[in-house]
Amino acid sequence: MAAPFVLDSNFFIQAHRMHYPMDVVPSFWLKIKELAKNGIIVSIDKVKDEIHLNVILLNITISLNKTRCNLDFFGTKQQPDFS
């Protein structure tokens, strides 16, 4: 068997952001999972940690901005309730 391809954080981040969002192209991610299971591609723990950290930071940022600025996810100002 040939040596596996090693994937870095950029592979996962760019694939998701630019070309293959998980909710739009799940078959791409299922194929990635299959290739990893078969030992054709691998990554390292630091990549996993970086991706998880970025997801956590993104969720915190969204929560803080929504609370602090009264903005919804799409950046439209919610109308204040004056009743």
Res 72: pLDDT: 52
Structural tokens at position 12 = 């996962």
Structural tokens at position 76 = 């439209």
Res 21: pLDDT: 86
Contact 51, 12 (CB under 8 A): yes
Res 78: pLDDT: 53
Res 35: pLDDT: 94
Q: Which residues of the chain have pLDDT under 70?
A: 1, 62, 64-83
Res 70: pLDDT: 55
Contact 40, 5 (CB under 8 A): yes
Res 61: pLDDT: 73
Res 53: pLDDT: 87
